[in-house]
Amino acid sequence: MVNVLVVGSGGREHAISWKLASSDLIENVFTAPGNGGTIQNVDLSVDDIEGLAEFAKEKNCFTVIGPEAPLAAGIVDFFNERNLPVFGPSKDAAQLESSKIWAKEFMKRNSIPTTNFKIFDDAEQAKEFVKSYEKSVVIKADGLASGKGVIVCNDVDEANNAIDKILIENAFGDAGSKIIIEDRIDGVEASYIALCDGKIAIPMATSQDHKRIFDEDKGPNTGGMGAYSPTPVIDESLSVEIQEKIIDKTITSMKKEGIEFRGFLYAGIMIKDDKPFVLEYNVRMGDPECQPILMRLDSDFYKYLHAASEGKLNKLPPISWKNDYSVCVVLASKGYPGSYKIGDPISGFDKIPSSSFIFHAGTKNVNGIIESNGGRVLGVTALGSTLQSAIQNAYSASEKIQWDNKFQRNDIGKKGLSFL
């Protein structure tokens, strides 16, 4: 029997901890720092790399890293140097997410489909370029900016404001010392996540996120207000094309450049005229995509993560998935992604049907009462034999959960229905 340490505190880490706990091979699942829903929390923050390594050593843990920040800081290298078993990409491999410029140049030199781009560190030069450029653009801060560093611009004024915000006002600090200006393509977005062991990449189930705060994809971007899996937006032939031209190409090109990618590789895909383009890479599971994906997973998750960490995915059979659809509706604090109140007691957990599961994110257990403690609070996740029934099941479970400042989108999964 093995102990596992899951690093992180969001809905993704609750889902990872929950799924690992169902493995017959696992004795204890610790989550650091965890949230109000995770069972055995360890009071260590995700950037306390030494503390996490000490804990993993003392408890003899296999460690799974959830979020990007510790990956970008080199937590996996730190564990590897101490022979502590760990799942996640190295600091070098994590550059695919930690530097958008690195990722774009990598894609360009390896002919991985993405949009045209230019790099700037000078606001005036960036504005000159935008003024004379005839296409709509997206402006991105180079480094990690908690999902807020991507600004989709409708006109030159918006582009100039984005340039000022990142390069002059330093809204993202060092993460915005350089920007990318890239062509904007308007198509359909989907998430394609693969499990990689440095040599091969096996696809996880497909999914689609809902990044904007309001229904019909209106309002500012958030970390994700809901997701469902699988998504009909990616059909069989598109899936093969993404796997070959993007995922496999990324892994083999990384290897050719001397970097083994072990971990989850997430390609944010834009589909335009049936062709996939990489909008961005992430080097981890998506949040909230992880929640509906793991709800559908039938295989032993631990076996796959462990094999990936050892470069032995080729020894395992294909991953097995439930045929059901799964939908995750994020319940957020009113005001998110701006300012919001925390500390509201949440009720209704005892009324949730067994076909649904509530993944906690921004929650805290205060003497047995679950309180809101963040922007994205809960991910109500449900299965259904059709996408429509999974949507209905997720929303009927969501209604049972109440607190004073609860906010949700009411159209999660709906955009998938038109593709069926």
* Sign of torsion over alpha carbons 51, 53, 58, 61: positive
Distance separating alpha carbons of residues 139 and 151, to the nearest angstrom:
5
**CA distances from residue 247 to 96, 111, 198 in whole angstroms, order as listed:** 12, 12, 12
Half-sphere exposure of 9 (CA within 13 A, CB side): 22
Taking the complex as a whole, the smallest distance from the CB of residue 227 to ligand GLY amounts, in Å, to 7
Q: Is 182 or 289 the residue whose CB approaches ligand GLY more closely?
A: 289
| Residue pair 120/314 in contact by the 8 Å Cβ criterion | no
Taking the complex as a whole, the smallest distance from the CB of residue 237 to ligand GLY amounts, in Å, to 25
Concatenated DSSP letters for 15-29?
HHHHHHHT-TTEEEE
Q: Is 163 or 332 the residue whose CB approaches ligand GLY more closely?
A: 332
- The Cα diameter of the chain in Å comes to 63
Taking the complex as a whole, the smallest distance from the CB of residue 147 to ligand GLY amounts, in Å, to 6
Q: Is 147 or 187 the residue whose CB approaches ligand GLY more closely?
A: 147
Q: Is 2 or 73 the residue whose CB approaches ligand GLY more closely?
A: 73
- Tokens read off for 83: 């022979």
Q: Is 145 or 352 the residue whose CB approaches ligand GLY more closely?
A: 145
Taking residue 124's Cβ as centre, other Cβ atoms within 10 Å add up to 11
Strand, helix or coil at 106? helix
Taking the complex as a whole, the smallest distance from the CB of residue 10 to ligand GLY amounts, in Å, to 9
Concatenated DSSP letters for 291-314?
HHHHHTB-S-HHHHHHHHHTT-GG
Which spans of this chain sit near ligand GLY (rule: CB under 6 A)?
Answer: 147, 209, 224, 282, 286-287, 289
Q: Is 182 or 300 the residue whose CB approaches ligand GLY more closely?
A: 182
Taking the complex as a whole, the smallest distance from the CB of residue 407 to ligand GLY amounts, in Å, to 18
Taking the complex as a whole, the smallest distance from the CB of residue 276 to ligand GLY amounts, in Å, to 17
